[in-house]
Chains A and B, each alone.
Chain A
């Protein structure tokens, strides 16, 4: 158990949740390494929030096992959850209470949180999300982004070992988004494991070390960010009038030429299993008297990988 605790902050085995006849979560085996910033990706309705509800013991799994911080959920819920801060499907607050009063309330609900430092902790949490000035304002007068910030503040009332954030930047302005990003980096730097769901891929790409992709309840990919990007392989974009000579060189490196550019001067070639250093390829091209106008190595964006894995269609799958 202890070795697992240090290895994975979240581990699930065949996690499944059925709503009527629909499998919202279907045999998910998550592995979230301790200390990682883990991006949880997937289109709308793919089962991200449902998975998070299962992880936090809000809903019970139809089958499968969950380990959070090395302990079984939901059996050890009372011991695990004080170490976990979470934002699940948007913030939820008492509209008739002020932002600070809401945090007092939720902090009082945690039997482990000491009341001695409560007001200091509430103040610090509000400061960290930039809400100090609106602390006394009733939440019903908060904007969407302010509520979202208050939700993040709630997750930060106590130092946590694990933060589970379901779309934390939803509704935030660009400054807010950037602040959340740097907050996540800061927390990760202190050793907090962060599990963040999002469909904003650029964001995940900027802050995450690892990611998993959900599609129609299934986990379709999981790994470090470079592993995920790498699966599709990098490719070379070459601009040159000497097409045939270039193709010969590329084939020698085990690369496959995909498509000629529209005017016949551009070539796209993808690497095979081996990825030779770009300078070797360029040297070989020059040696074969290929005139190189431009040579670029392109890596597929996470977005491209995401679309490859989850499909192009716009319609929600279920």
Chain B
């Protein structure tokens, strides 16, 4: 088709009513998951429960109760615990690390690749782009958490016996119920990572150097956890975005206690609102000179 043919066609062939941004979101997610880096991170995350399971399987002696991560002593009795241990181990560092990479890359990565100016000229719309970037990061949070949970479940089934799970409250639940609990924990951890994602998004609007934004985001997640461990800063703890990160044990009681889930969700929403607003303020007024 030559250009002359094209210009003879009605406008509707090329343009439609402005879409809400769904095509851009689909494209954003597909670009994210077409990067080798994304899969490398998901694979590393999946490796964590696998390593744990192998370590437990290969050492004949049962680890003494009370040493190592919680539930570790249960793993050899019941493979379903591999997921729990994997998630517990990943929350402080590995998950924030990968989320920091993705969130820090959102805007700064586009700027450094030179694609940001073309997205904005398209025009993607600055607000729309920011929202799409955040949603894609949230999708990554889900994928990252599920990578650990699913890899843990699979390797647990492969290496250990499966049976009813004994909860922290002493009650026993069936295998099916324990899968639901695993998914709940995955949801809890995903929510936990949303505040950090918003912080990363904001930092990413401040620079054209993605590595800088990634490193800053990851460092902040560590700083938050360090501050949370200092008893002198008791007053600050409920405001730290990492405060409820390990609070998902409540979901392993019978009946389920939703308190920490609620507090966590509220706190994370606060971070999303504040840092979302900061990112918006910064990005919509920023000169794109990259």
Q: Which residues of A come within 8 Å of B, CB atoms?
A: 53, 56-60, 77-78, 81-82, 84, 86, 88-97, 101, 104-117, 120-121, 124, 128, 154, 158-159, 186-187, 190
Contact A60 B287 (CB under 8 A): yes
Taking CB atoms, residues of chain B closer than 8 Å to A91 are 114
Contact B26 A93 (CB under 8 A): no
Contact B289 A59 (CB under 8 A): yes
Contact A78 B123 (CB under 8 A): yes
Given contacts A60-B285, A114-B13, contact A93 B21 (CB under 8 A): no
Q: What is the bound-complex CA distance between A108 and B27, given in angstroms?
A: 7
Contact A53 B289 (CB under 8 A): yes
Contact B122 A81 (CB under 8 A): yes
Q: What is the bound-complex CA distance between A26 and B21, given in angstroms?
A: 37
CB nearest neighbor in B for A192: B7
User: Would you mind naming 13 contact pairs between A and B with Cβ atoms under 8 Å apart?
Assistant: A59-B287, A59-B288, A82-B123, A92-B113, A93-B115, A104-B27, A105-B27, A109-B24, A109-B118, A109-B129, A111-B19, A115-B16, A154-B118
Contact A114 B15 (CB under 8 A): yes
Most-contacted residue by chain A among B3, B121, B125 (CB, 10 A)? B121
Contact B121 A159 (CB under 8 A): no
CB nearest neighbor in A for B290: A92
Contact B31 A97 (CB under 8 A): yes
Q: What is the bound-complex CA distance between A110 and B34, given in angstroms?
A: 21
Q: What is the bound-complex CA distance between A58 and B289, given in angstroms?
A: 7
Asked if B35 lies at the interface with its beta carbon under 8 angstroms from chain A, I say: yes
Asked if B23 lies at the interface with its beta carbon under 8 angstroms from chain A, I say: yes
Given contacts A105-B31, A106-B118, contact A94 B4 (CB under 8 A): no
Given contacts A81-B123, A93-B115, contact A108 B15 (CB under 8 A): no
Contact A112 B18 (CB under 8 A): yes
Contact B23 A108 (CB under 8 A): yes
Given contacts A53-B288, A110-B124, A190-B3, contact A94 B113 (CB under 8 A): yes
Q: Mark B103-116, 1 if CB is under 8 A from A, else 0.
A: 00000000001111
Taking CB atoms, residues of chain A closer than 8 Å to B31 are 94, 97, 105
Q: What is the bound-complex CA distance between A57 and B121, given in angstroms?
A: 8
Contact A114 B14 (CB under 8 A): yes
Contact B13 A190 (CB under 8 A): no
Q: What is the bound-complex CA distance between A110 and B18, given in angstroms?
A: 8
Contact B113 A186 (CB under 8 A): no
Smallest CB separation, A152 vs chain B (Å): 12
Asked if B120 lies at the interface with its beta carbon under 8 angstroms from chain A, I say: yes
Asked if B237 lies at the interface with its beta carbon under 8 angstroms from chain A, I say: no
Most-contacted residue by chain B among A58, A101, A190 (CB, 10 A)? A58
Given contacts A53-B289, A92-B114, A92-B118, contact A113 B123 (CB under 8 A): no
Asked if B67 lies at the interface with its beta carbon under 8 angstroms from chain A, I say: no
CB nearest neighbor in B for A112: B15
CB nearest neighbor in A for B1: A124
Q: Which residues of B come within 8 Å of A, CB atoms?
A: 1, 3-4, 6-7, 12-21, 23-24, 26-27, 31, 34-36, 113-125, 128-129, 285, 287-289
Q: What is the bound-complex CA distance between A106 and B23, given in angstroms?
A: 11
Contact A97 B34 (CB under 8 A): yes
Q: What is the bound-complex CA distance between A121 and B1, given in angstroms?
A: 10
Given contacts A90-B114, A96-B35, A112-B16, contact A159 B7 (CB under 8 A): yes
Contact A58 B117 (CB under 8 A): yes
Taking CB atoms, residues of chain A closer than 8 Å to B13 are 114, 117
Q: What is the bound-complex CA distance between A113 and B285, given in angstroms?
A: 25
Smallest CB separation, B157 vs chain A (Å): 34
Given contacts A95-B113, A114-B13, A159-B6, contact A109 B288 (CB under 8 A): no
Taking CB atoms, residues of chain A closer than 8 Å to B121 are 56, 58, 81, 84, 86, 88
Smallest CB separation, B93 vs chain A (Å): 26
Contact B288 A113 (CB under 8 A): no
Taking CB atoms, residues of chain A closer than 8 Å to B115 are 92-94, 106
Contact B18 A111 (CB under 8 A): yes
Given contacts A108-B24, A108-B26, contact A114 B12 (CB under 8 A): yes
Additional A-B contact list (13), CB under 8 Å, known A115-B19, A159-B7: A56-B120, A57-B120, A78-B125, A93-B113, A93-B114, A97-B31, A110-B124, A111-B24, A111-B124, A113-B16, A115-B23, A159-B3, A159-B14
Taking CB atoms, residues of chain A closer than 8 Å to B125 are 78, 111
Q: What is the bound-complex CA distance between A60 and B116, given in angstroms?
A: 16
Contact A88 B117 (CB under 8 A): yes
Q: What is the bound-complex CA distance between A124 and B124, given in angstroms?
A: 22
Contact B16 A124 (CB under 8 A): no
Taking CB atoms, residues of chain B closer than 8 Å to A128 are 3
Most-contacted residue by chain A among B16, B118, B285 (CB, 10 A)? B118
Smallest CB separation, A122 vs chain B (Å): 12
Contact B3 A187 (CB under 8 A): yes
Q: What is the bound-complex CA distance between A212 and B199, given in angstroms?
A: 45
CB nearest neighbor in A for B26: A108
Q: What is the bound-complex CA distance between A124 and B7, given in angstroms?
A: 12
Partner pick for A111 among B6, B35, B128, B285, CB 8 A cutoff: B128
Smallest CB separation, B22 vs chain A (Å): 9
Smallest CB separation, A34 vs chain B (Å): 16
